[in-house]
Structure formats: structure tokens, C-alpha cells
């Protein structure tokens, strides 16, 4: 940002992209990966891969529906794993905090 800090609204989109794609220790993945089930890629790669994905899904509709159901189940497993990672992380932080409390 510039020293005047008046252009923060112009930089907000880049800041949000950086936050959403950054690895978060409590959940063990990035928020984008938690939402979509895959690590993020640059926009050019996404456009290229999405074109081929659409083309492949249009080829065989029935197998694509089965594939989508499998992907939804995998996404649910990833989300449950992130909940477990967050719980483990919070438990560790609580244990560290509790050790530093002085008993009077």
C-alpha cells in the first residue's frame, strides 16, 4: 500500500485472495482448499483445467454424475479432517496455556 493508506479498497481483492489461498495451521489446509477440496492454482491454470473438465463431463453424463457424488463425499471427508485438525490444534494451545498458569 502507499504511505497514505487511501487506496486500501483497490488492494482488497488481492489481499482476500492471498488470505484465502494461504495455508492455515489450525485447520491444516487453506480456506480455499477446505471449500473446494483442492489446492488453489493460478487463474490461467484454472481456466485451462475447467475447459477440459467441462469437455470431459459433457462426453459421458452418467459417469460424470457418479464422479460428482464421489467428489462430494471426498470433500465432506476433507472438511471433517479439518474439523479434527482444528480441535487438535485448540487442545494443544489450551494445554500450553494451562501449563503457564501460575497456581497461587
What are the residues facing 44 on neighbouring strands? none
89 alpha-carbon distance from chain centroid:
17
Predicted pLDDT of residue 56: 63
Q: Is residue 2 part of a domain?
A: no
Decide if 42 is inside a domain. yes
State pTM to two decimals: 0.48
Residue 12: domain span: 8-99
Q: Has residue 38 been placed in a domain? A: yes
How do residues 11-29 score in pLDDT, each as one tens digit? 888 888 888 888 888 888 8
Asked if the structure places residue 35 within a domain, the reply is yes
pLDDT tens-digit series, residues 30-83: 888 888 777 776 565 555 555 666 666 666 677 777 888 888 898 889 889 999
Domains in the chain: how many in total? 1
CA 5 – CA 17 distance, rounded (Å): 19
Q: Is residue 63 part of a domain?
A: yes
- Assess whether pLDDT exceeds 80 at residue 100: yes
In a domain, 3, yes or no: no
**Interhelix angle for 61-99 vs 43-59, to 10°?**
140
* 104 located within any domain: no
Instruction: Report whether 20 contacts 30 (CB < 8 A).
Output: yes
- pLDDT value of position 43: 60
In a domain, 15, yes or no: yes
Amino acid at each position: 500500500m502507499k504511505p497514505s493508506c487511501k487506496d486500501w479498497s483497490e488492494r482488497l481483492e488481492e489481499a482476500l485472495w492471498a488470505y484465502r489461498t494461504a495455508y492455515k495451521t489450525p485447520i491444516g489446509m487453506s480456506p480455499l482448499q477446505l471449500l473446494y477440496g483442492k489446492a488453489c492454482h493460478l487463474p490461467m491454470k484454472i481456466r485451462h483445467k475447467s475447459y477440459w473438465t467441462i469437455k470431459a463431463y459433457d462426453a459421458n453424463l452418467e459417469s460424470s454424475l457418479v464422479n460428482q457424488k464421489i467428489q462430494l463425499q471426498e470433500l465432506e471427508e476433507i472438511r471433517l479432517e479439518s474439523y479434527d485438525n482444528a480441535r487438535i490444534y485448540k487442545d494443544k494451545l489450551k494445554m500450553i496455556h494451562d501449563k503457564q498458569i501460575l497456581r497461587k
